[in-house]
Structure 1
Amino acid sequence: MMKFTALSAIADLAKTLPQADQAASDAAFARQNRLTKPLGSLGRLEELALFMASWRGLAQPTITKAQAIVFAGNHGICAQGVNPYPQEVTAQMVGNFQAGGAAINQLCRANGADLSVVALELDRPTADFTAGPAMTEAETLAAMQTGADAVDVAADVLILGEMGIGNSTVAAAMTSALFGGAVADWVGPGTGADSDGIKRKIAAIEKGLARHDGLSAMGVLAALGGREQAAICGAVLAARAARIPVILDGFICTAAASALYAADPALLDHCLVGHCSAEPGHRKLLASLNKRAVLNFDMRLGEGSGAALALGILRAALECHNGMATFGEAGVSESEASGA
């Protein structure tokens, strides 16, 4: 099992964790070129099949078990009035997830994922990052370990989501610190902040950035992040160690994982982004990460909802890749199929 002992050691993991299997990817590509279709005609579905092949190490990968995890945490930054809903809602929504009543429950059922919810000390919010670091190094490492330990190494793909009142402010703070630019460009309404609420978010983030300047990528996670953000990072790394591809959800989930990217871009090579959130900072973040989302459905719910929806597309890509006949099997002339 993966164990985290120091934040300073995270970047070095890129040198020791598994890499994409090029031989499996090449074999999958060769199969794609023999299937009964014009070359490249399934577009991104073909790319997704090759992605899965490279990380599962199989020319014809399958998804027998899909795991979805929603991590939940509470945040001290709520003391700055950045949240339109009280922090009690975090625990209430965790209960809703556990009872099967949330959107993520329905999307996991529809797309064949086993959902679990991990609540991280909801009765003990992180510290207000305008006054000091949100978490100590020990707290950050403990949350990362919780995330890593939640990963089922028997899974073929991992879906990650989050829940936490105030965490859209945390996401905007982290991305501002990691990638720069105007704070206002990273800030959005989250769960429904009005114009005054957005101004409070911007002011809180600017104060936090001034206090926590010049930090390493993982230092940003500790100073400005939350327990669910750290748990997402731990789960991403544990999945990489087990060669499990990851589907990240929207802005908040991607922002959490972006601390790993800032530490070493290779740490997110095994990650897809399920959808492009309507939260305004997400498109900017995707450009910073050089990643293209699988879907763009104007969603901004969180919970892993966009990632669970993207799982259906990933399953469809593998059904085509594995189930279609080759030209030889179908007795079809390649020149006729290509329209030559």
Structure 2
Amino acid sequence: MKLLQQTIEKIEGLDQEMVVKARARVDSLIKPPKSLGKLEGLAIQLAGITGKLYPEIDQKAVIVMAGDHGVYEEGVTSNPQEVTFAQTLNFAKGLTGVCVIGKVTGAKIVAVDVGIKGEIPSDAGVIIKKIKNGTDNMAKGPAMTREEAIKSIEVGIEIAHEEINKGVNLLGTGEMGICNTTPSTAILSVLKNCDPLEITGRGAGLGTGGIEHKAAVIRKAIEINKPDCKDGIDVLAKIGGLEIGGMAGVMLAAAANRIPVVIDGYISTISALIAARIEPKAKEYFITSHASLEPGGKIASELLGIEPMLHMDMCLGEGSGAALAFPIIEAACSMMKNMPTFEDVGMEI
């Protein structure tokens, strides 16, 4: 809890003086007003985050948190749980979706075992920060203890700090965990105060009971555990996931270190909601990448209050959407640094 508390205490709002300067520069660039749309707002946000009129984004990393879920035993997915283990090894080999997309901008992919069922080999290229072998079955009791939930957040903080200390100045969040749309939807149901059936989707593959069964399992988990919607850690502990906590930690650490952090799709957005519930100011450092095809994705983004940049009908997870958004963020930086103002080129407006 000490690391989490120290991180929260370091989080401040954006540099408002730099925001004003950045807005003035954007408005004076050689283009019609607002003609570069969301790129302009992104450039201003980056200036406010970094405190620099010309933000530099030259070292990028997507931190992929991996963990399993006890609720798997309720038959909410058709995919074997062993896929979490196998796919996590593939991150280290550079074979997954986020890996090949990340290559476009030279992004580093950092795979972390925060709670996989089974033992990842120590030489596999995966960072081992295992808290437990998957969460407990939330349909029968809390997914984890409050202490374990805090520890999962602190794992994310630790890994983010390690990457920032290596020079990383743009972070992305990703995850791997078979059936993790189930705890994600449970969290959203609690925070939105809606029935699970309204927001439950297929995930990577439905179990034989279909949407109705998956929603019923989520409803049961909420009724049994009674998470406090005002306490993000309580919600995470009772109906969440270790990788969800890990990503929230990455986001909080990014905010504490004035580093922009790119949120991936549905599950990452749920982590962002948890992080923002823990410390609302952290949200100012979030950049949402894409609108997930999951039914709860749009609602989660609306609840977070940040509109995603991309609409690509993606729902892979892994941080794939975050990696896809990296070039847009670099373009915003290039606009600020390399595009002249009307005054620079001697034009009157």
Fold-level similarity (TM above 0.5): yes
Aligned to 1:337: none
Which runs of 5 or more residues in structure 2 are unaligned?
119-132
Correspondence list, 1:130-141, <5 A: 130-141=139-150
Which runs of 5 or more residues in structure 1 are unaligned?
335-340
- Is the 2:115–2:243 Cα contact (8 Å) retained in structure 1? no
- Is the 1:84–1:197 Cα contact (8 Å) retained in structure 2? no
- Structure 1 residue 261 corresponds to structure 2 residue 281: no
- Structure 1 residue 242 corresponds to structure 2 residue 257: yes
Counterpart code for 1:255: I
Misfit runs of 4+, over 4 Å: none
C-alpha deviation, 1:91, in angstroms: 0.9
C-alpha deviation, 1:266, in angstroms: 2.7
Aligned to 1:326: 341
Alpha-carbon distance change, 288 to 121 in structure 1, aligned in 2, over 3 angstroms: closer
Counterpart code for 1:323: N
Counterpart code for 2:175: E
Aligned to 2:246: 231
- Structure 1 residue 128 corresponds to structure 2 residue 143: no
Aligned to 1:74: 68
Distance 1:285 1:121 in 2: 24
Once the two structures are aligned, what percentage of the paired residues are identical? 35
C-alpha deviation, 1:37, in angstroms: 0.7
User: Secondary structure of 2:4's match?
Assistant: coil
Counterpart code for 2:292: S
The count of aligned residue pairs is 328
- Is the 1:240–1:270 Cα contact (8 Å) retained in structure 2? yes
Aligned to 1:219: 234
Distance 1:185 1:252 in 2: 17
- Is the 1:66–1:156 Cα contact (8 Å) retained in structure 2? yes
Give the superposed CA RMSD. 1.8
Distance 2:282 2:331 in 1: 26
Distance 2:213 2:323 in 1: 32
C-alpha deviation, 1:16, in angstroms: 4.8
User: Secondary structure of 1:328's match?
Assistant: coil
Correspondence list, 1:162-201, <5 A: 162-193=175-206, 196-201=209-214
Match of 2:81 among 83, 87, 94: 87
Distance 1:162 1:69 in 2: 8
Residue deviations 1:42-80, cap 9 Å, x none?
Answer: 110000000100000111112021121110000000010
Using the size of structure 2 for normalisation, the TM-score is: 0.90
Distance 1:53 1:145 in 2: 27
Alpha-carbon distance change, 195 to 44 in structure 1, aligned in 2, over 3 angstroms: farther
Aligned to 2:153: 144
